[in-house]
Amino acid sequence: MHQKIIIEGGRKLKGEVTVSGAKNAALKLMAASIILGDTCELYNVPELTDVYTMTNLLRTLGAEVDYNEEEQKVTINAAEIDNVEAHYDFVSTMRASFIVLGALLGRFHEAKVALPGGCSIGERRIDFHIKGLEALGAQVKIEGGYVIAKAKKLTGSKIYLDRPSVGATENIMLASVLAEGSTILSNAAQEPEIIDLANFLNAMGCDISGAGTSEIIINGVRQRDLNPLSYTTIPDRVEAGTYIAAIIATRGKAVIRNIFPNHLSAVTSKVIEMGGKITVLDPFSIEVSFCGKLNGVNIVTQPYPGFPTDLQSPFISALVQAEGVSIVTENIYENRFRQLGELRRMGADVQQESNKAIIKGVRQLTGAQVIATDLRAGAALIIAGLCADGVSEVKDIYHVDRGYEKIVEKFSNLGANIKRIELDETNLDVKINNIDEPLF
């Protein structure tokens, strides 16, 4: 089935929305279960296509995996893993699955993992991963589109990353938790998802300190000393930031629940600069509101705690209607402005100059047919459709389903006029929510 999202814009978002578990944390915890060799239970795991992909990948390795969508619970027993090859069919569609490399190498001292893929937002450099694994004593080569790593023994080492790569930090952590001795990882990534992974590993009996800072210390432990565990994934800060951008873009007012507000400090500071208001209601909820004019701002994406690259696309959809000129500088991925041409189809005045998007605010976007070129670009186009005059169609929404759980239902609950359409190509029938009804 091919699907698209239809939006009739012009409504201010209002009400409440509850954020799901963090995709970028849950996927890494699922991969880390390989280290345990026993049973773990993960809660607050969102129902996403990427989660199903990771579930199937773990099964091909020999793990028993059960995903209960209603409880948002994944149960993984990795005791009987008997395969150390992560096939191209899985890893090529989702770059997060590449960190099974570190987990397999750490437990079995060998791994064969396809080179990473996912959305086409930029190059997936793995030299930092390889450098770190080699420092632990692994022999690594690339052959036939696969990374092949083997080690007679893994030994702790001092490792410096030339840049704070999230994936390299995760792979090195997973490879070193069972190594002999201590590993000191400097210039490590500091994202909340790194902290969540370290907390998960520590809960099973690993010895990691410093996660969330630039230096992480991993003291190797024995696998037989690890314990089964239950663990709850952190909330998705990117999903929360996407709804913040949508509320501001539509000049709305709504409450966002199940978030850690401190994970969004760089985002909320820009919202205030844009003319919005953020009110912390309790430790896990905020109210986002807007009144007055929408101001243009400059945004520079940086590793955490800077402004996240995953949110520049949704915020551009707000800035295209802001007063004045905004400049968004993308420092992480070179192809992260692929939605700009689609926004121009909706009347936006936005141009790319090298790694910068130059945005001149317009009074009103107009509905159009657009294509989601990647996960976050898809969310950005949905936000643009919510603001536009008339009806918009967003195609190729399978990208969006990789990272946003029930996005149509959540925007509907906020008052948006939005539908998901299934197109059955065998008979060209259009099915709208599986019932025969007018679209609007």
For residue 160, the cross-strand partners are: 186
3-state class (DSSP) for residue 390 = coil
What count of other Cβ atoms lies within 10 Å of the Cβ of residue 406? 16
Look at residue 425 in the predicted model and tell me its pLDDT. 60
Phi and psi, residue 145, nearest 5°? 80, 10
Question: What is the rounded CA–CA span in Å between residue 126 and residue 123?
Answer: 9
For residue 328, the cross-strand partners are: 299, 357
Bridging pattern class, strands 276-282 and 139-143: unpaired
Q: Which helix (H) or strand (E) holds 144?
A: none
Quote the tokens at residue 259: 């978030």
Question: What is the rounded CA–CA span in Å between residue 133 and residue 110?
Answer: 11
Question: What is the rounded CA–CA span in Å between residue 410 and residue 39?
Answer: 33
pLDDT per 10-residue tile (average), the chain, 440 residues: 91 98 97 96 97 96 96 97 93 87 98 75 72 97 94 98 95 98 98 98 98 98 96 98 98 98 97 97 97 93 97 97 97 87 97 96 97 94 98 95 96 98 62 40
Question: Do 391 and 421 contact (CB within 8 A), yes or no?
Answer: no
What does DSSP assign to residue 19? -
Question: Do 126 and 147 contact (CB within 8 A), yes or no?
Answer: yes
Question: Do 243 and 315 contact (CB within 8 A), yes or no?
Answer: no
Q: Which fold has domain 23-232?
A: UDP-n-acetylglucosamine1-carboxyvinyl-transferase; Chain (3.65.10)
Nearest to 26 by CA among 64, 70, 62, 76: 76
Q: Which fold has domain 2-20+235-432?
A: UDP-n-acetylglucosamine1-carboxyvinyl-transferase; Chain (3.65.10)
Look at residue 424 in the predicted model and tell me its pLDDT. 65
Phi and psi, residue 167, nearest 5°? -60, -40
Question: What is the rounded CA–CA span in Å between residue 430 and residue 225?
Answer: 56
Quote the tokens at residue 353: 């100059």
Helix axis angle, 375-387 to 237-249, nearest 10°: 20
What is the Cα Rg of the chain in Å?
Answer: 22
Within 13 Å of residue 82, how many CA atoms lie on the same side as its CB? 3
Quote the tokens at residue 250: 């539509």
Quote the tokens at residue 362: 């317009």
Catalytic residue set: 119
Look at residue 1 in the predicted model and tell me its pLDDT. 60
The letter for the amino acid at 21 is G
Question: What is the rounded CA–CA span in Å between residue 281 and residue 257?
Answer: 9
Give start and end residues of each alpha helix (H) in 62-182: 88-91, 100-108, 127-135, 166-176
Peptide bond preceding 305: is omega within 30 degrees of 0, i.e. cis? yes
The letter for the amino acid at 212 is G
Look at residue 135 in the predicted model and tell me its pLDDT. 98
Domain with CATH 3.65.10.10 in the chain: 2-20+235-432, 23-232
Question: Do 176 and 136 contact (CB within 8 A), yes or no?
Answer: yes
Question: Do 316 and 350 contact (CB within 8 A), yes or no?
Answer: yes
Look at residue 435 in the predicted model and tell me its pLDDT. 30
Phi and psi, residue 55, nearest 5°? -60, -45
3-state class (DSSP) for residue 198 = helix
Question: What is the rounded CA–CA span in Å between residue 400 and residue 246?
Answer: 15
